[in-house]
Amino acid sequence: MILDVWLYGELRKFSDTPNKIGYGQMLLDVPEGYRMRDLLERLNMPTAARGITFVNGNLSALPGFQPDLEHVFADNDRVAMFDLRSMWPFQYRNGAAMTDSMRQAVQEHPEQLMHHEHSEEEE
Protein backbone atom coordinates (compact mmCIF):
# COMPACT_ATOMS: atom_id res chain seq x y z
CA MET A 1 0.00 0.00 0.00
CA ILE A 2 1.01 3.64 -0.49
CA LEU A 3 1.67 6.33 2.11
CA ASP A 4 1.81 10.00 1.10
CA VAL A 5 4.36 11.47 3.53
CA TRP A 6 4.92 15.22 4.03
CA LEU A 7 7.83 16.40 6.17
CA TYR A 8 7.88 20.11 6.94
CA GLY A 9 10.65 22.53 7.84
CA GLU A 10 13.74 20.90 9.29
CA LEU A 11 12.18 17.44 9.00
CA ARG A 12 12.59 17.52 5.24
CA LYS A 13 16.12 16.30 5.84
CA PHE A 14 14.56 12.89 6.53
CA SER A 15 12.90 12.90 3.09
CA ASP A 16 14.42 12.02 -0.27
CA THR A 17 14.08 15.69 -1.32
CA PRO A 18 16.01 17.40 1.48
CA ASN A 19 16.91 20.41 -0.65
CA LYS A 20 13.35 21.33 -1.54
CA ILE A 21 12.20 24.69 -0.20
CA GLY A 22 10.25 24.36 3.04
CA TYR A 23 9.13 20.73 2.87
CA GLY A 24 9.77 17.25 1.56
CA GLN A 25 7.19 14.87 0.16
CA MET A 26 7.43 11.16 -0.64
CA LEU A 27 5.17 8.36 -1.76
CA LEU A 28 6.24 5.24 0.11
CA ASP A 29 5.25 1.67 -0.71
CA VAL A 30 4.72 -0.07 2.63
CA PRO A 31 3.26 -3.42 3.74
CA GLU A 32 -0.14 -3.95 5.33
CA GLY A 33 -0.19 -3.34 9.06
CA TYR A 34 2.44 -0.61 8.84
CA ARG A 35 2.52 1.58 11.97
CA MET A 36 3.73 5.10 12.79
CA ARG A 37 6.60 3.49 14.67
CA ASP A 38 7.63 1.62 11.49
CA LEU A 39 7.49 4.78 9.42
CA LEU A 40 9.72 6.69 11.83
CA GLU A 41 12.23 3.84 11.77
CA ARG A 42 12.28 3.81 7.98
CA LEU A 43 12.80 7.58 7.92
CA ASN A 44 15.57 7.30 10.52
CA MET A 45 13.72 9.98 12.45
CA PRO A 46 13.74 9.93 16.26
CA THR A 47 10.16 10.36 17.34
CA ALA A 48 11.23 13.22 19.65
CA ALA A 49 12.32 15.19 16.58
CA ARG A 50 8.75 15.60 15.42
CA GLY A 51 6.07 17.81 16.87
CA ILE A 52 2.58 18.24 15.47
CA THR A 53 1.59 15.23 13.38
CA PHE A 54 -1.44 14.49 11.23
CA VAL A 55 -2.91 11.41 9.60
CA ASN A 56 -5.42 12.35 6.90
CA GLY A 57 -5.93 15.75 8.46
CA ASN A 58 -6.58 14.27 11.89
CA LEU A 59 -4.26 15.43 14.65
CA SER A 60 -2.33 12.41 15.93
CA ALA A 61 0.49 13.93 18.01
CA LEU A 62 1.61 17.15 19.66
CA PRO A 63 5.10 18.13 20.79
CA GLY A 64 6.03 15.76 23.59
CA PHE A 65 2.64 14.01 23.45
CA GLN A 66 2.64 11.14 20.99
CA PRO A 67 -0.14 8.62 21.47
CA ASP A 68 0.15 7.57 17.81
CA LEU A 69 3.20 5.30 17.73
CA GLU A 70 1.04 2.18 17.31
CA HIS A 71 -1.29 3.84 14.80
CA VAL A 72 -1.83 1.43 11.87
CA PHE A 73 -1.97 3.08 8.46
CA ALA A 74 -4.36 2.35 5.61
CA ASP A 75 -3.69 2.54 1.89
CA ASN A 76 -3.31 6.12 0.56
CA ASP A 77 -3.06 7.66 4.00
CA ARG A 78 -1.56 11.16 4.06
CA VAL A 79 0.91 11.57 6.91
CA ALA A 80 2.31 14.99 7.82
CA MET A 81 4.96 15.79 10.42
CA PHE A 82 6.22 19.14 11.64
CA ASP A 83 9.44 20.15 13.33
CA LEU A 84 9.53 21.45 16.87
CA ARG A 85 9.60 25.09 15.82
CA SER A 86 6.10 24.71 14.49
CA MET A 87 3.04 25.54 16.55
CA TRP A 88 -0.73 25.36 16.62
CA PRO A 89 -2.19 27.41 19.47
CA PHE A 90 -5.20 25.90 21.18
CA GLN A 91 -7.61 28.61 20.10
CA TYR A 92 -6.84 27.71 16.50
CA ARG A 93 -7.27 23.96 16.94
CA ASN A 94 -10.13 23.79 19.44
CA GLY A 95 -12.58 21.50 17.73
CA ALA A 96 -10.28 20.29 14.96
CA ALA A 97 -10.36 16.65 13.94
CA MET A 98 -8.23 14.13 15.85
CA THR A 99 -7.35 10.49 15.37
CA ASP A 100 -9.14 8.06 17.66
CA SER A 101 -5.97 7.44 19.65
CA MET A 102 -5.42 11.17 20.11
CA ARG A 103 -8.99 11.74 21.20
CA GLN A 104 -8.74 8.92 23.70
CA ALA A 105 -5.40 10.15 25.01
CA VAL A 106 -6.75 13.68 25.46
CA GLN A 107 -9.67 12.36 27.47
CA GLU A 108 -7.24 10.50 29.71
CA HIS A 109 -4.87 13.47 29.96
CA PRO A 110 -7.06 16.57 29.53
CA GLU A 111 -4.21 18.84 30.64
CA GLN A 112 -2.52 18.02 27.31
CA LEU A 113 -5.42 19.43 25.35
CA MET A 114 -4.60 23.06 25.78
CA HIS A 115 -0.93 23.34 26.53
CA HIS A 116 2.10 23.35 24.32
CA GLU A 117 5.11 21.31 25.37
CA HIS A 118 7.94 23.61 26.34
CA SER A 119 10.43 21.32 28.05
CA GLU A 120 14.16 21.47 27.49
CA GLU A 121 13.92 18.20 25.52
CA GLU A 122 12.74 20.32 22.64
CA GLU A 123 15.98 22.26 22.51
Partner 1 sequence: MWILRIDMKELSYKLEDVPERYRLLYGRALTSQMIFDEVPPLCHALGPNNKLVFSAGIVTSTSAPTSARVSVGCKSPLTGGIKEANAGTSWAPDLASMRIRALVIEGFPEQGEKYWGTFISWDKDAGKPKVEFFDATGYTGQDVYDTFPKIYERFEGRISICSVGNAGEKSYGNSGIVFNDQAKRPSRYAGRGGVGAVLASKRLKFIILNEKGSPGVDIVDKPLFDEGRKKMIDAIRSHAISKPKGGLNSYGTAVLVNILNEAGGLPTRNFSSGRFEGAAKTAGEAIFETNKERMGKEIYNHACSPGCIIQCSNTYYNTDKTERTSCIEYESTWSLGANLGIDDLDDIATMVQLCNAYGLDTIETGGTLGVAMEAGVIPFGDSKGAINLIHEMGKGTPLGRILGSGTETTGKAFGVRRVPTVKGQSMPAYEPRAVKGIGITYATTTMGADHTAGYTIAPEILGVSGKSDPLSPEGKAELSRAFQATTAFIDSSGHCLFIAFPILDIASGFEGFIQECNGVLGTNWTAADIVAYGANVLKVERAFNEAAGIKAEADRLPEFMRLEPLPPHNQVFDVPDSALDAVFKEM
Binding residues (CB under 8 A) for partner 1: these are: 6, 8-9, 21-23, 52, 54, 56-57, 59, 63, 78, 80, 82, 84-97, 106, 110, 113-118, 122
Which is nearer to partner 1, 32 or 111 (by Cβ)? 111
84 contacts 51 by C-beta, under 8 angstroms: yes
The b-or-e profile of 77-92 (16+ CB within 10 A means b, else e) is bebbbbbbeeeeeeee
CA 122 distance to own-chain centroid: 15
Which CB atom, from 40 or from 79, has the smaller least distance to partner 1?
79
Closest CB 10 distance from partner 1, rounded Å: 9
Minimum separation from the CB atom of position 39 to partner 1 (A): 16
| Smaller CB separation from partner 1, 2 or 96 | 96
